[in-house]
Structure 1
Amino acid sequence: MKHINREVGSLLTRIIEKREKFLRAGDHKDDLLGLLLKSNLNEVEVNKNSDGGMSMADVIEECKLFYFAGQETTANLLTWTMIVLSMHNEWQERAREEVLQVFGNNKPDYDDLNRF
């Protein structure tokens, strides 16, 4: 667990540092990490003489929290979707028809699923 924690921390540190460089250069992405870093940078600039803003460790912990909470939420959603579809055959049939209408006999790839 310690090894995985260090590895995740290292990966996130590199991602965050890269994003901070882009942010300071004026390139801003409106995703969750971009908004968090922009807000944190503004807080640091406003409170230059105090301890305003989050440390790198705080930002890393926030990233972990959102990632793992999002995974759990998605897993719960998919589990309940399967349960409800198994309880209601007519919903299952309508979902199957919609998938076949959109994809036909083609195997969907990641982009297709994202658009779906």
Structure 2
Amino acid sequence: MKEIAKDIKDSLTDMINKREIALKAGESAKDDLLGILLESNHKEKEEHGNNKNVGMSLEDVIEECKLFYFAGQETTSVLLVWTMVLLSRYPDWQARAREEVIQVFGNKKPDFDGLSHLKIVSIVLFPS
């Protein structure tokens, strides 16, 4: 576990350092959570004269990254488990969703464009 934790920390540290160097060089932050977090943190520090006691430390940023990653993993797995439970409870919806997927994709590997044509699957996964 310690080795895995070290590998994760090293990977995140490397990624964060590269993004911070790019940010300080004037490159715009990427439109993802890490980019937004680093850009906000960079602005906060600049507003306070680059005071090291202001803003998030490298450790704080790493912990935020891990939190969002693992929270997202858990949320996704819970969604998938409940979807499977409900589809097993309502086999008619399961059959309709399966037929729709086969109709749209056939034997092809699903692609992003085809996903927009899956109305029943969208209803199953994202009920309003």
TM-score by length of 1: 0.88
Q: Give the structure 1 partner of residue 125 of structure 2.
A: none
CA distance in 2, matches of 1:105, 1:115: 13
- Per the TM alignment, residue 47 of structure 1 is displaced from its structure 2 partner at its CA by 1.3
- Per the TM alignment, residue 28 of structure 1 is displaced from its structure 2 partner at its CA by 1.8
1:14 aligns with 2:6: no
Deviations 1:31-53 (A, max 9, x none): 11111111110111111246111
The percentage of counterpart residues that share the same residue type is 58
Runs of 4+ in 1 over 4 A off after TM superposition: none
Q: Structure 1 stretches of 5 or more lacking a match?
A: none
TM-score by length of 2: 0.80
SS at match of 1:77: helix
Counting matched residue pairs gives 113
Matched AA of 2:43: N
Q: Give the structure 1 partner of residue 27 of structure 2.
A: 26
CA distance in 2, matches of 1:86, 1:68: 27
CA distance in 2, matches of 1:57, 1:81: 36
Within a 5 Å distance, the mapping from 1:37-52 to structure 2 comes to 37-48=38-49, 49=51, 51-52=53-54
SS at match of 2:87: helix
CA distance in 1, matches of 2:114, 2:61: 30
Q: Structure 2 stretches of 5 or more lacking a match?
A: 116-128
- In the superposition, relative to structure 1, how do residues 69 and 114 fare at CA in structure 2: closer, same or farther (>3 Å)? farther
Cα contact 2:34–2:65 (8 A) shared by 1: yes
Cα contact 2:104–2:114 (8 A) shared by 1: no
Within a 5 Å distance, the mapping from 1:26-105 to structure 2 comes to 26-48=27-49, 49=51, 51-105=53-107
Cα contact 2:44–2:55 (8 A) shared by 1: yes
